[in-house]
Structure 1
Amino acid sequence: MTEAVQDTTTTITPGRGDWTRRFHPAPDAERRLVCFPHAGGSASYFFPVSRAIAPYADVLAIQYPGRQDRRHEACAESIDALADALTAELLPWFDRPVTFFGHSMGAMLAFEVARRLERRGVALNGLCVSGRRAPSRSREERVHLGGDEALLAHIVRLSGTDSRVLGDPDLLHLVMPAIRADYKAVETYTYTDGPPLSCPVLVLTGDDDPQVTLDEARAWAEHTDGGYELKVFPGGHFYLNSLAADVTAAVRAHLG
């Protein structure tokens, strides 16, 4: 699950906006999986997940504005703004049971979209969150306020960006605005108390993730009435890069 540097061929359904990418369309699948990338990430990060799970499920990956083929669009700097836009974009895809899978920032965003959908009477089949503490567990974080060097040092420490990008000044110039906007969105997010979700929640985390303690991961149980399961993997924040097969198997089981 290493971030792809170049765009990958996609299928975009007309009339459903520019937010979703279908790398391996499975229109006859009985279920659908929607994947939400991490801060600085793009839809192509989930290409391996799509390849592994299709045709068992129709897999969509979210493409945030400001990166890859949407690089000329303004980046969103608010989780709420992203969640509001995605809720409207995703409603037409609920013609079959839908599960969300989000990593890091994507986990937080998937949760907020799920809440908005439930307020409209649309419930998920399941929510899989990875590499993110429960929304009700906050930390004071100011990475987005620092200079580029500090932001890049943080990214390198988490091992979340392809080394080819970090070593190419031109590529860095292209991706830094999106990374900074995403970090601002994450670090300025404020959880608002509300009803728990009705769907089951699967929590995936690395046992050496500096961004999430086990207690913070377990606190996801407070956010659902539909059942909760925690799976701990060896590794840090991007444990899933080296354990892609295990993580994909866990997500597929959650789909079932």
Structure 2
Amino acid sequence: MTGPDVSSARWFRRPRPGGDPSLRLLCLPHAGGTASLYRAWTGPLPDWIEPVLVCPPGREERVDERGPDDVPALVAALADAVRPLLDRPWAVFGHSMGALVAHELALRLVSEGARPPEHVFVSAREAPQFHRPGAVHLLDDDGLAAELLRLGGTHPELLAMDEVRRLILPAVRDDYRLVETYAPPGPTALPCPVTALVGTGDTEVSEDEARGWSRWTDAEFRLLAFTGGHFYFSDDPHDVVRSVTGLLAGSRADGAAVAITERR
């Protein structure tokens, strides 16, 4: 395949576009999140893994783009954009809402006969059978900002600035709408390993809900628990990157996490 065209390039930030990586790692952010969530991964990732940071509509340079109507529409557009990058092995890491999208993306591409992923990493997200609808997207701006502060993924001083709230809250609201009106797929197992990651202090996702991802793979499943809350890797991603790298290299995650290995 050839490299990505202009229409697909707007979806991705590629901090290390040169070289000849053995594998590409797609990184999907949380609701309202940006590619910046993963910028600190670029240094610790080895040269053989190229980080490809996904930028959905409604944020950064795409702030004026209208968001999709639902999760299937988002996944369909992302699948079209990513196909030119599937000329070599790939894996996907998604955090919170990004985990939901990562799973749906893998299912869609596999069903369409594309190269399957080497590994799917689902972080801070309950398995689809535990999905809970919600109404956060119906809150006013103050209520939505309060929810972001509760989760701890946004600096309070930013949300205190009116111009910043006007910039980021529309994308947050749209993403919450997608997640809270999402209809999970029927039980279809992926042909690749799935690893669920969770913060031990995350009040949004229990370890049992994360362990439920074992139902969604015909290959190996692991649950990795890290110290921290919903954004357990935002301050220092090195332990998570080391574990992800080890699994992609075919080795066991090291002592950075409590690993529970299960096989279907």
TM-score under structure 2 length normalisation: 0.88
The aligned amino acid for 1:231 is L
Equivalent residues in 2 for 1:31-46 (5 A)? 31-46=23-38
Question: Contact 1:24–1:51 at 8 Å: present in 2 too?
Answer: no
Question: Contact 2:133–2:181 at 8 Å: present in 1 too?
Answer: no
1:130 is aligned to 2:116: no
1:78 is aligned to 2:70: yes
The aligned amino acid for 1:39 is A
- 1:26, distance to aligned residue in structure 2 (A): 4.0
Question: In the alignment, which residue of structure 2 is the partner of 1:93?
Answer: 85
Question: Contact 2:37–2:234 at 8 Å: present in 1 too?
Answer: no
Q: Which runs of 4+ in 1 moved over 6 A?
A: none
Which of 154, 166, 183 lines up with 2:147 in the alignment? 154
Rounded Cα–Cα distance in structure 1 between residues aligned with 2:167 and 2:74:
21
What is the percentage of aligned positions where both structures have the same residue?
Answer: 38
1:51 is aligned to 2:43: yes
The aligned amino acid for 1:246 is D
1:228 is aligned to 2:221: yes
More off after superposition, 12-21 vs 59-68: 12-21
Equivalent residues in 2 for 1:103-118 (5 A)? 103-118=95-110
Structure 1 gaps of 5+ residues are: 1-11
Question: In the alignment, which residue of structure 2 is the partner of 1:182?
Answer: 175
Question: In the alignment, which residue of structure 2 is the partner of 1:102?
Answer: 94
Rounded Cα–Cα distance in structure 2 between residues aligned with 1:24 and 1:126:
21
Question: In the alignment, which residue of structure 1 is the partner of 2:163?
Answer: 170
Question: Contact 1:107–1:132 at 8 Å: present in 2 too?
Answer: yes
The aligned amino acid for 2:71 is I
Question: In the alignment, which residue of structure 2 is the partner of 1:207?
Answer: 200
The CA RMSD over aligned residues, in Å, is 1.5
SS at match of 2:64: coil
Q: Which has the higher contact order (CA 8 A, sep 6+)?
A: 1
- 1:198, distance to aligned residue in structure 2 (A): 0.6
TM-score under structure 1 length normalisation: 0.91
Question: In the alignment, which residue of structure 2 is the partner of 1:23?
Answer: 15
SS at match of 1:124: coil
In 2 relative to 1, CA 201–71 (structure 1 residues): closer, same or farther, beyond 3 Å?
A: same
Question: Contact 2:153–2:231 at 8 Å: present in 1 too?
Answer: yes
- 1:232, distance to aligned residue in structure 2 (A): 0.5
More off after superposition, 186-195 vs 125-134: 186-195
Rounded Cα–Cα distance in structure 1 between residues aligned with 2:62 and 2:107:
26
Rounded Cα–Cα distance in structure 2 between residues aligned with 1:139 and 1:24:
37
Question: Contact 1:26–1:57 at 8 Å: present in 2 too?
Answer: no
- 1:45, distance to aligned residue in structure 2 (A): 1.6
SS at match of 1:205: strand
Q: CA offsets, 1:2-50, max 9 Å, x none?
A: xxxxxxxxxx864534111101224311111000010010112211112
SS at match of 2:44: helix
Q: Alignment length, in residue pairs?
A: 245
Question: Contact 1:201–1:226 at 8 Å: present in 2 too?
Answer: yes
In 2 relative to 1, CA 77–50 (structure 1 residues): closer, same or farther, beyond 3 Å?
A: farther
Q: CA offsets, 1:144-202, max 9 Å, x none?
A: 11111111111101011133421321111111100100110111111120420011011
Question: Contact 1:26–1:55 at 8 Å: present in 2 too?
Answer: no
Q: CA offsets, 1:35-72, max 9 Å, x none?
A: 00100101122111123215231110111111111111
Question: In the alignment, which residue of structure 1 is the partner of 2:191?
Answer: 198
Q: CA offsets, 1:47-103, max 9 Å, x none?
A: 111232152311101111111111111123421111111111111111111010000
Question: Contact 1:206–1:234 at 8 Å: present in 2 too?
Answer: yes
Structure 2 gaps of 5+ residues are: 250-264
Q: CA offsets, 1:192-234, max 9 Å, x none?
A: 2042001101111011212101110000000001110001111
Question: Contact 1:66–1:72 at 8 Å: present in 2 too?
Answer: yes
